[in-house]
Amino acid sequence: MLAWKKRKDDAQLRASCPHSRASRRTVAGFRPSPCSLALGSLALVRTLAAAAWVWAWAMAWCGAAWAQAPQPFEFRSAYIEPTDSVYQLNATLVLDLPDGAREVVREGVPLTMSVEIVVKRSRRYWIDETVATLEQRYELVHHALSERYLVRNLNSGEQSSFPTLDAALDFMRVIGNLPILDKALVVPDSRHEISLRAHLDVHTMPDALRLIVFWADDWRQTTEWYTWSPQL
């Protein structure tokens, strides 16, 4: 209906300007006719109106997540345990989502969490040596057909399913028995440090709108570094 009305309005405007076609056939001194200027102005108004609508829609989409104050996000505890050949990490996180971020996750927008792990060895007369680094990544997404929340380990491909968002977040709050360091890399009687940092990211804006509103942020949070010196 809107497209038919647009064609009708343009046709009426052209009909009122009988010289609009002839005015295009000219020589070097050509000047646009008032009719062609009016057509251009009409197209500009429609373009600006469409851009304003896209902007308003984008802000409504992202506003719910932006308006919320950041929730506590930090490592509560962490330790390592030795096995036959490696050291395994066990850690717990304080992790929650504001209402806006929860809503977009329920709508199917994926939440990703990455955990940076850095192991260093102290050296007395030189800079510390980085012994090992690891990034462990997880993705939480709501599957609408099954009405389940799926948490996938993006490093290993392992996937777990949960009936509620809170149950899925409980699972992501605990890192258990994660191999992080080969025993062969440990130098006896040396001081080692392990540092952890986690990132949460909810892509609140669809890819199509991201190209238009390229300066808009997604909802993100990052923990402080959690560092300790274990006895290895």
Task: Give me the residue spans of the domains in the chain.
Answer: 2-21+30-65, 68-228
Q: How far is CA 181 from the centre of its chain?
A: 29
pTM of the model: 0.66
- Among residues 176, 186, 84, 194, the alpha carbon closest in space to that of 134 is found at 194
Q: What is the pLDDT of residue 220?
A: 83
Cα separation values, 65 from 99, 104, 174, 212, Å: 7, 8, 24, 19
Sign of CA dihedral 103, 92, 227, 74: positive
Q: What is the pLDDT of residue 69?
A: 56
Q: Which ranges of the chain have pLDDT less than 50?
A: 1-6, 8, 13, 17-28, 30, 37-39, 53-67, 208-217
Q: What is the pLDDT of residue 70?
A: 59
Q: What is the pLDDT of residue 54?
A: 46
Instruction: Give the DSSP letter string of the chain.
Output: -HHHHHHHHHHHHHHT-TTTTGGGS--TT----HHHHHHHHHHHHHHHHHHHHHHHHHHHHHHHHHTSPPPP-EEEEEEEEE-SSEEEEEEEEE----HHHHHHHHTT--EEEEEEEEEEE--TTSPPEEEEEEEEEEEEEEETTTTEEEEEETTT--EEEESSHHHHHHHHTEEEEEEEEEGGGPPTT--EEEEEEEEEEE--S-HHHHHHSTT---EEEEPPPEEE----
Q: What is the pLDDT of residue 204?
A: 53
pLDDT digits (tens, 9 = 90+) for 139-180: 999 999 999 999 999 999 999 999 999 999 999 999 999 999
Q: What is the pLDDT of residue 33?
A: 55
CA atoms within 13 A on the CB side of 83: 12
CA atoms within 13 A on the CB side of 22: 3
